[in-house]
Amino acid sequence: MKRLLYYLRYDWPLHLVMLLTSWFPNNVAFFYLRGMLSRPFFGSCGTNLRLGRNITFYNASSIHFGSNIYVALGGVFLALGDIIIGDEVIFGPYVVLSAANHTKYQGSYRYGPVTKPPIKIGFGTWIGAHTTVLGGATIGRGCVIGSNAAVTRGNIPDNSFAAGVPAVVKKVDTNASLDFLAYGNQAD
């Protein structure tokens, strides 16, 4: 009974909102509308949530958004553990966050117990398209995670650029600005 009440409060209304707004085009007005209609169904959510089309949320009560968040087309948020996202975070298209990891039981992952380590993403971070972030990962403030990366565990320090599979820190900006990614680092 408790699970049914949970579904009625969080998951099903959010799925309905996403379904009914999925035919709206991807533009600023509808990003805002989708976010505004979806806000009540998350564990917590700041202001100005903007959502693209075809985003999947699982266990929405464990997802905590800050303010001024943008999630592009096709994102997937699997929150068996908590997903905690700071203010002003940008998610590119088709980003996957999975706050759960399967473990082996009698030689198979199918029925192994699931661990639920949280995912934490700091203020002002940009997660590139087609990136996967797994449970246990902590991404600092002001980071850029390159497209197609896989952040599998551990910490990405503040003001870093990380890329690859698994994601490796390629550069840390000690000036607390990632302008070098757009313009190149003049010191090199």
d(CA 56, CA 96): 9
| pLDDT (tens digit per residue) in 42-72 | 999 999 999 999 999 999 999 999 999 999 9
Lowest mean pLDDT among 30-34, 85-89, 100-104, 183-187: 183-187
How buried is residue 29: exposed, middle or buried, by Cβ count under 10 Å (0-12/13-18/19+)?
A: exposed
| pLDDT (tens digit per residue) in 110-169 | 888 989 999 999 999 999 999 999 999 999 999 999 999 999 988 999 999 999 999 999
Whether 12 has a pLDDT exceeding 90, the answer reads: no
110, 148 contact by CB (below 8 A): no
pTM of the prediction?
A: 0.86
**Is residue 149 helix, strand or coil?**
coil
List the CATH code of the domain at 2-172.
2.160.10.10
- Name the nearest CA neighbour of 162 among 108, 122, 114, 116: 122
For the chain, the average pLDDT equals: 89
Cα end-to-end span (Å), the chain: 61
pLDDT score at 177: 55
Each domain of the chain, given as residue ranges in start order, spans 2-172
